Amino acid sequence: MQRYLVKRIFQMLIVVFLALTAVFFMQFLAGDPVILLLPMDATFEEIAEMRERLGFDDSIFVQYFRFVSRALQGDFGPSLRHPQTAIQLVLSRVPATLELALIAVVVSLLVAIPIGVISAAFRGSWFDQVAIVVTVFGQAVPGFWLGIMLILFFSVTLEWLPTGGRGELNNLILPIITLTAFYAARFARMTRSTVLDVLNTDYIRTARAKGLSERRVLYKHALRNASISIITLLGLQLGQLLGGAVVTETVFYWPGLGRLLVQSLLNRDFPVVFTGVFFIALVHATLNLAVDLFYLVVDPRISYD
């Protein structure tokens, strides 16, 4: 177990390190960073002076090692458009994104798991048919369009809810519905198919033969074993949500990490973009590791020795 843990952490560190390297090279692809820092009418001498001062005259290896050593201390340089440093800006937006992502995931699971389990238990019934149609729609409808339609109906036409912003409970409703529509559909489909697989196994037949109630068979035996796939998907989706609520945050003017990154990209504030991207890659890698370890808790048959 310990050996596996060390190996897995080592693999995670490699992925994070490679992500950091990718971020370093992205900076150069984005154009000369010095020109982005200076006003449009800067003279050639001013550009040369700034380049020397910031160390862009050094060889690429020297620059790379300096970048990595600073990044390990959380120093990604200043934002080009804001008074704060890039890391300060990114961290200041994390709570808003975390709030949205966590609530969306919890609501999605609360909606999806019962739908998936009931659909599987009553395969082919009217409930199952309706659930299949709804989940197919949920996955096909683009999130940003659904968001706009919700604003059109609930904010513009009915004037019940605000069009965007953060601060009150009302502000959360539409973004959460938008995110839940997609993620609940995905979780429900996954739950249905894994529970269907599990229901065909011998131990479920045995549980039924023992005379256990159908509810107990479903929730205690089938769902527990189907939860491996659900947890895997959950870990992956949460990672995607933390950075991938980009569109929902933009549609609802939600002041989170995703919206900050879109604004920074439009303003070509690349230090902020790369810091945010590295942060998301780090969270993603950590969640992957957490998912692997969580398997041990859920399924005692899994052993990493």
Partner 1 sequence: MLGFAIVLIVIISSLFAPFIAPSDPNQANRPNRLQPPGSPGHIFGTDQHGRDLFSRVIFGARISLFVGLVTVLIAGTIGTVVGLFSGYFGKWLDSVIMRLVDVWLSFPFILLALIINAILGMGLRNVVITLIITGWVIFARLVRGEVLALKNRDYIQAAKALGQSELKIIFFHILPNVFTPIIIISSLQISQIIIAEATISFLGFGVQPPTAAWGNMLSDGRNFLFNAWWMATFPGLALAFTALGLNLFGDWLRDTLDPKISK
**Interacting residues toward partner 1 by CB under 8 A:** 14-15, 18-19, 22, 26, 29-31, 136-137, 139-142, 144-145, 148-149, 151-152, 156, 239-240, 242-244, 246-247, 250-251, 258, 261-262, 265-266, 268, 273, 277, 280-281, 284-285, 288
Is 28 or 122 the residue whose CB approaches partner 1 more closely? 28
Token pair 């039924």: residue: 208
Rounded to an integer, what distance in angstroms lies between the CA atom of residue 33 and that of residue 269?
10
CA-wise closest residue to 181 among 126, 140, 148, 242 = 140
Q: Is 254 left (phi over 0), alpha (psi -120 to 50) or beta?
A: beta
Q: How far apart are the first and last CA of the chain?
A: 5
Give phi and psi for 83, each to the nearest 5: -70, -20
Closest separation in Å from C-beta 209 to partner 1 = 25
Is 144 or 294 the residue whose CB approaches partner 1 more closely? 144
Is 195 or 242 the residue whose CB approaches partner 1 more closely? 242
Closest separation in Å from C-beta 193 to partner 1 = 10
Closest separation in Å from C-beta 97 to partner 1 = 12
Rounded to an integer, what distance in angstroms lies between the CA atom of residue 71 and that of residue 51?
20
Is 171 or 221 the residue whose CB approaches partner 1 more closely? 171
Is 221 or 284 the residue whose CB approaches partner 1 more closely? 284
CA-wise closest residue to 94 among 288, 289, 232, 254 = 254
Is 100 or 277 the residue whose CB approaches partner 1 more closely? 277
Closest separation in Å from C-beta 23 to partner 1 = 10
Residue 279: CB atoms within 10 A of its CB come to: 23
Closest separation in Å from C-beta 300 to partner 1 = 27
Closest separation in Å from C-beta 242 to partner 1 = 8
- Let me know the angle formed at the C-alpha of 95 by 91 and 101, rounded to the nearest 5 degrees: 120
Q: Cβ contacts of residue 55 below 8 Å, gap of 6+?
A: 62, 63, 66
Is 230 or 247 the residue whose CB approaches partner 1 more closely? 247
Rounded to an integer, what distance in angstroms lies between the CA atom of residue 214 and that of residue 117?
12
Closest separation in Å from C-beta 119 to partner 1 = 15
